[in-house]
Structure 1
Amino acid sequence: MERVVMQVSGLVWALTLVGIAGLVVFDFYFHVRRAHIPTLREAAAWSAVYVGLAIAFGLGVLILGGRDMGAEYFAGWVTEKALSVDNLFVFLVLLNSFKVPRADQQKVLLFGIVFSLVARTGFIFLGAALINSFAWVFYLFGLILLITAGNLLRGEDSDDRSADNIIIRTARRFLRTADGYDGDKLFTVQDGRRVLTPMLLVMVAIGGTDILFALDSIPAIFGLTQSVYLVFTATAFSLLGLRQLYFLLDGLLDRLIYLSYGLAAILAFIGVKLILHALHENNVPFINGGAPVDVVEISTGISLVFIIGVLAVTVVASLLSPKGRAQTYVAAARRHANAFLDVETDPRYCDEIYHRLLAEETHLRSLPEKYRARIRRQDELMELLRRAHRVHEERVAAGACFTVGV
């Protein structure tokens, strides 16, 4: 792999940073500042806008920087976007674990995106400095990716990425927090004292997991390009629009049951690519006497084709899988029941959630008998659904719910 360095002027860097900051500020003032629940149409439209901006930027790189630089950008962006979708699974767990009202989830997600941009920028420059100083860092990055791929294949969910990781346990121990939310405020008054709300804790959780995600994503993209500018912009454009994508894919995330296998294949592929590149530029004394090793390197074009191909196969296989469909319906029913019972307080939205729950139960009844039998054996789920129906009947009797159509 012949290393190509893209020379970027300070003016281009400044304009890029201003443009990305402007998009974040626009997102806050026009979408997030007023707490609301994005409609599917709104989420789809703005997701398309951000994807379009990323593609337009890539075309600009292709025209001004040449075919190789354009291929490196798109390979990096597609990989980072796929990893960001995987991150949405963890965000979903965190937001549900902390029982964040849906109208307030946008603020948490935008904070996570901004924090991730800042943290990953630091990791990017640190990674670039290490690569420029130590060629053996490619061995380390390759090993990290191979280990991560192995963990994904085994289905291991690190406790550090759960809603009860060490960052949250430390925060709960040393910070005085309220029992409930006060809108989207970070502070409230409880028993005459100013205390933190759980909103701050969930932001800490999102920020902590973002740092851990960077340990996978930054080595992965450096395996596709060593241009700091391309690494930064591909990472930034993969994160912009992630909030809208969350609300767009909320009902489909659980359907992508083979995504982790696809990501494992991609990370392992990039890990091998990094190690081959490290061998090609080897100066480690105990490998080939410190001399470069004549090995075949994987081109960026082949990498891009492989990444897109694996993702396409993974998504299609997931969408066609009866198991994936059953898993989607079960997860959606559980999520809606929990939100109806323990999270949402707006009566109008509670009633909407309940009707969504009824729709999911209809989907469950449409599944083949072997899947319905497995679902009936999930005592916790069945009791949760029964409790949701009981509470709805009690609220209707007390006049606490509105009546809306499905």
Structure 2
Amino acid sequence: FLTGYLIEKSLSVDNIFVFLLIFSYFRVPPIHHHKVLFYGILGALIMRAMFIAMGITLVEKFHWIIYVFGAFLILTGIKMALEKDKEIHPERNPVLRLFRRLMPVTEEYEGSKFFVRRQGRRLMTPLFVVLLVIETTDVIFATDSIPAILAITVDPFIVYTSNVFAILGLRALYFALAGIMEMFHYLHYGLSAVLIFVGIKMLISDIYKVPIHIALGGIAGILLISVIASVVRPPRERK
């Protein structure tokens, strides 16, 4: 449970950086951040339950899928390490494009409302657009974190509860770290190393079962080193 929780929590830090970019891109007033995150997290709990159920079913019925997940995590870790700047393109979001075709969007934010009615027509506000983008972004992140937790255990109760507890603290973590995220500039290297470590663990699972305490210690150690390195060598100020 602790290992799964630590994996999900550490990868959630990367989510926070992307959420900051999304809020900045759409110029969301800070007063509305908490509402979007609340409903975004609520939707994430439902979507992750579906992902976990599918993932566990695949692992139990097709054992070889473990190797696919392992290779995927290693490739994702390498890609994360090579990416210097994370770029997002909300306007390319397929779910957002679909909703804009089905329902018109108001030009301005309407307070904290997701929908408004004008001249008998139901309109979507930009705040709901932001919620859609955050929700689909979380689904993309789940494709990394859930296979990583399945490398530790396939017990559905442990997998889901570790996800739930990690996600429930995401909103508080967002407001705590939003202003200091740039300090931990080496953290994404630590996260990539965690994904590669877990991916290797999955690939060698039939040859050697890595003990839970070693997996937990390894993940915690990698993250701690990346945070300490960020503090010891602060980022250079851009001119």
TM-score under structure 1 normalisation?
0.56
| CA distance in 2: counterparts of 1:195 and 1:224, whole angstroms | 45
Are the aligned partners of 1:111 and 1:203 in contact in 2 as well (CA < 8 Å)? yes
Q: 1:255 aligns with which of 183, 195, 199?
A: 183
Superposed displacement of residue 153, structure 1 = 0.9
Q: 1:322 aligns with which of 221, 234, 239?
A: 234
Are the aligned partners of 1:81 and 1:239 in contact in 2 as well (CA < 8 Å)? yes
Residue of structure 2 equivalent to 1:288: none
Q: Secondary structure at the match of 2:109?
A: coil
Are the aligned partners of 2:103 and 2:124 in contact in 1 as well (CA < 8 Å)? yes
| CA distance in 2: counterparts of 1:225 and 1:262, whole angstroms | 22
Residue of structure 2 equivalent to 1:124: 52
Residue of structure 2 equivalent to 1:307: 219
| CA distance in 2: counterparts of 1:175 and 1:188, whole angstroms | 12
**Larger radius of gyration between Structure 1 and Structure 2:** 1
Are the aligned partners of 1:93 and 1:163 in contact in 2 as well (CA < 8 Å)? no
| CA distance in 1: counterparts of 2:57 and 2:177, whole angstroms | 36
- The alpha-carbon distance between structure 1 residues 191 and 313, as it changes in their structure 2 partners (threshold 3 A), is same
Residue of structure 1 equivalent to 2:131: 203
- The alpha-carbon distance between structure 1 residues 128 and 247, as it changes in their structure 2 partners (threshold 3 A), is same
Are the aligned partners of 1:276 and 1:296 in contact in 2 as well (CA < 8 Å)? yes
Q: Secondary structure at the match of 1:308?
A: helix
- The alpha-carbon distance between structure 1 residues 296 and 214, as it changes in their structure 2 partners (threshold 3 A), is same
Deviation readout 1:72-111 (Å, 9 max, x if unpaired) = x111111110001111111111111111111111010011
Q: How does 1:142-291 map to 2 (within 5 A)?
A: 142-155=70-83, 162-164=89-91, 165-189=93-117, 193-277=121-205, 280=206
Q: 2:210 aligns with which of 268, 285, 298?
A: 298
Are the aligned partners of 1:116 and 1:211 in contact in 2 as well (CA < 8 Å)? yes
Superposed displacement of residue 142, structure 1 = 0.3
Deviation readout 1:311-348 (Å, 9 max, x if unpaired) = 1111111122231xx5xxxxxxxxxxxxxxxxxxxxxx
| CA distance in 1: counterparts of 2:234 and 2:182, whole angstroms | 12
Letter in 2 for 1:207: E
Letter in 1 for 2:90: A
Residue of structure 1 equivalent to 2:64: 136
Structure 1 unmatched runs, 5+ = 1-72, 281-294, 327-370, 376-406
| CA distance in 2: counterparts of 1:231 and 1:79, whole angstroms | 11
Superposed displacement of residue 255, structure 1 = 1.4
| CA distance in 1: counterparts of 2:173 and 2:72, whole angstroms | 28
Are the aligned partners of 2:106 and 2:126 in contact in 1 as well (CA < 8 Å)? yes
Superposed displacement of residue 227, structure 1 = 1.2
| CA distance in 1: counterparts of 2:17 and 2:84, whole angstroms | 14
Number of residue pairs aligned between Structure 1 and Structure 2: 238
Give runs of ≥4 in structure 1 deviating > 4 Å: 156-159, 189-193
Letter in 1 for 2:96: I
Are the aligned partners of 1:90 and 1:162 in contact in 2 as well (CA < 8 Å)? no
Superposed displacement of residue 225, structure 1 = 1.4
Deviation readout 1:31-55 (Å, 9 max, x if unpaired) = xxxxxxxxxxxxxxxxxxxxxxxxx
| CA distance in 2: counterparts of 1:296 and 1:124, whole angstroms | 24
2:2 matches 1:74? yes
Are the aligned partners of 1:109 and 1:243 in contact in 2 as well (CA < 8 Å)? yes
Superposed displacement of residue 116, structure 1 = 0.8
Superposed displacement of residue 157, structure 1 = 6.6
Deviation readout 1:140-192 (Å, 9 max, x if unpaired) = 11011011101101117777x54233332333344300011111101224577
